Structure 1
Amino acid sequence: MKYLTNKIPSNTLISDEQRYLWFSGTSYLGITHHPVFKENFIKAVDQYGTSWGSSRNNTVQLSIYDKAEKVLADFAKMPSALTVSSGMWAGQLVVNFLKSKGNTFFFAPKTHPALWNDFTQSSTDTYQVWAKTIADTIKDSEGENIVICSDSVGSPYVEYFDFGWIKSLPIDKNITVVIDASHSFGIDLPEIHSDNVRLVITSSLNKAMGMTGGVIFSDNDFIEQIRYFPMFSGASPMMPALLEAFVTSIDIFDEQRKKLLENIEYFNHLIKPDLGIDSIKNYPAYCTHQAGLHEYLKQHGIMTACFPYPTANDLPVTRLVISALHTKENLELLARVLNSWK
């Protein structure tokens, strides 16, 4: 069932003249409603306007892109960053670039479509089984230039992905690991030890970070190659005013992340451990395939997401999300309703 609204929800949603507590979406840090970020964005729009419809490699270039990309790289603890118009384009740009180099591709289970290409054959194994066998699969591959694609965390159904398998990959092949971290960036990037591979991280900035755009992280050499790839040169960039607002508001991202993690910890202490709801450490989304929870929460004035995944024929996933905007009272009410379910 669809619910229409003419206003972006904060910790509440108004739909069809009904008010609900809103525990869904992906605005984990609540940046889109933060008064400082909104004020800085308005100032930035006055300076930059609403868009910059030009190639990043054109004769005249805006300095905010280089400035913001340095801040983003530092924020992610990565060597270099490159922004693009969306997270989907960040993934597709990287995959098309690597495909143009003649690489052999492998895909982890549940890899997001942002990293798909013409050769996509995601494993049907569980992530855990795939992780135990991928090193031997690569060793047996005839290809010498290898690309392995994976998400950083299961989404929309919550699942922890352990990247210890990277350490076991063979060192006699040229391996690039591409990770879509759209649902982790801004909260917690996975710990990845990548001395034996080239690591590339792509991400939407429209999840935790609250900005329409995408970003690519990697070593300086890879980012420079992407920068002069025709599919980057020929594309318009993300809105410069958003990046200006990000740079001038960088402190609030750390503050909101701290609030989010405190909310997650507080909520986890409130709910019963046997509810049958899946979650992972320091992550704001909670999921279940159990029928009836979405409707039960709605009856108590709480709105979550509920939809079939990954196809229309699969069981519906009820997904509830905590954000930095939720108050302790919001979390206490949600916990009371959940604890009384069944």
Structure 2
Amino acid sequence: MRELITEELKRLEVGNLKRSLIVIEGPQGPRVRINGNPKILLCSNDYLGLANHPRLKEAAIRAIEKYGVGAGASRLVSGTMPPHALLEERIAAFKGAQAALLFNSGYHANLGVITAIAGRTADIFSDKLNHASIIDACVLSRANLTRYPNGDIFALESLLKRSKAKNKLIVTDGVFSMDGSIAPIDGLITLLDRYNAFMYLDDAHATGVLGKTGRGTLEHFNIEHPSVIQMGTLGKALGAFGAFVAGSKELIALLVSKSRPFIFTTALPPAICAAATEAIDIIEAEPERRTRLWENIEFFKDGLKAAGLDYTKSATQIIPIITKDPNYTMQASRRLLEKGVFIQGIRPPTVPAGASRLRVTVSSTHTKEDLTEALTKIIEVLGDGR
């Protein structure tokens, strides 16, 4: 076994595909320290700057003092506490759903829901750019899986027309995590009633960001539909940890009884739930955070456009600068880190061959000075693309 592991590590290293960890010395923020040196952070999912917010920390501390550190058991044994129930109520109201259920990560949520609602007799139609956890969940469900071209409503409809299954499930990200593009939910939604299908919407990168009040992709398109199951995460714009699924009361009851990742794992710490509840309160009370985020997004994209750098079809805070070659991409990432800008390089298998990129994520807490300095360094490293 050791020889096999060593051989595989060498193979990864030769292809410049071996991963490593970088330690952030301190809390998330627009600027952080790595090896004692300050860096502009442009690869965090802390989109609204809540991960180090005083109110979230105070809420977590109060919950620890009242409920302790760990939940002690799974939710179905003795791990359900008032902070869990309160957060689920707040999420349901925030997402405009009848009920919600917490999961320990977005990965857990996708595995837990898709495998619970789609079995061998179901047909799943999954966007080709969906997150890896969705792909894994679809495979584990043992349903008949078909992947349709990214955002291609006509191709999807053609597939739905041929489906004979009673249980048809369309699965899509709201915001695609590597491209930053938004799924055409307004078009996809028209297929649900026409073909008696359901939709599973992974809103991990949209929750707190998209929509007039930050409620996500459905609000962005001004859509309400009972056949849409919404998943979201607590560790991105909400600054905490974990995930949730929002939908009908019947769906949540089914998941409590059938979702293996929910049933067979220790519940989220109550302090995390308290912090996430506080985050929802802040998101609802401080819309200016989203305003600043979108101002920063446009400012940064304008800088890239002026330099002739390709940021593809990004429509959100996820801004990929396409660099194609994985070796060049990782060299550029290292050079930027040396110059004081932390942007992770993304390469296969996370993205297809020839599509490596520097994946920038912008936060509401970045100043124009932060972004201008980062743009200057990016242009120094990548050159002017014009």
Q: Is the TM-score greater than 0.5?
A: yes
- Matched with 2:150 is 127
Is 1:332–2:345 an aligned residue pair? no
Distance 1:250 1:182 in 2: 14
- Matched with 1:318 is 358
Deviations 1:196-239 (A, max 9, x none): x7111122222222222110011222122222326234433212
TM-score, length-normalised on structure 2?
Answer: 0.77
Give the ranges of 4+ consecutive aligned residues of structure 1 lying more than 6 Å apart after TM superposition.
none
Aligned 1:1-342 pairs, distance under 5 A? 2=20, 4-7=22-25, 8-58=27-77, 61-100=80-119, 102-115=121-134, 116-118=137-139, 119=142, 121=145, 123=147, 126-128=149-151, 130-169=152-191, 171=193, 173-188=195-210, 189-191=216-218, 193=223, 195=225, 198-229=227-258, 231=260, 232-254=262-284, 255=286, 256-273=289-306, 274-278=308-312, 280-281=314-315, 283-290=316-323, 291=328, 294=333, 297-298=336-337, 300-311=339-350, 314-315=353-354, 316-338=356-378, 341-342=383-384
Displacement, 1:175? 1.5
Aligned length: 338
Displacement, 1:112? 1.6
Local SS of the residue matching 1:91:
helix
Displacement, 1:309? 3.4
TM-aligned CA distance change 1:194 to 1:333, over 3 Å: same
TM-aligned CA distance change 1:224 to 1:258, over 3 Å: farther
Local SS of the residue matching 2:290:
helix
Distance 1:77 1:5 in 2: 38
- Matched with 2:213 is none
Local SS of the residue matching 2:254:
helix
Displacement, 1:97? 0.8
Amino acid at match of 2:267: P
Distance 1:186 1:170 in 2: 25
Displacement, 1:84? 1.4
Displacement, 1:330? 0.8
Amino acid at match of 2:293: L
Distance 2:79 2:217 in 1: 37
Displacement, 1:58? 4.0
Structure 1 range deviating more: 287-296 or 322-331 = 287-296
Distance 2:279 2:44 in 1: 22
Distance 2:29 2:339 in 1: 18
Displacement, 1:10? 2.0
Local SS of the residue matching 1:136:
helix
Local SS of the residue matching 2:118:
helix
CA contact (8 A) 1:135 1:170 kept: no
TM-aligned CA distance change 1:207 to 1:60, over 3 Å: closer
Deviations 1:252-275 (A, max 9, x none): 234343432333244345554432
Distance 2:201 2:351 in 1: 26
Gaps of 5+ in 2: 1-18, 211-215
Distance 1:294 1:102 in 2: 45
Amino acid at match of 2:296: N
Displacement, 1:338? 4.5
Distance 2:305 2:157 in 1: 39
Deviations 1:284-326 (A, max 9, x none): 2211222565456445321211131335872421111111221
Amino acid at match of 1:163: I
- Aligned Cα root-mean-square deviation (Å): 2.8
Structure 1 range deviating more: 264-273 or 24-33 = 264-273
Displacement, 1:247? 2.6
TM-aligned CA distance change 1:102 to 1:48, over 3 Å: farther
CA contact (8 A) 2:304 2:310 kept: no
TM-aligned CA distance change 1:279 to 1:21, over 3 Å: farther
TM-aligned CA distance change 1:16 to 1:339, over 3 Å: closer
Displacement, 1:16? 3.2
Displacement, 1:178? 0.7
Deviations 1:44-75 (A, max 9, x none): 11112111133333478422222211211222
TM-score, length-normalised on structure 1?
Answer: 0.86
Amino acid at match of 1:227: V
TM-aligned CA distance change 1:101 to 1:46, over 3 Å: farther
Amino acid at match of 2:123: T
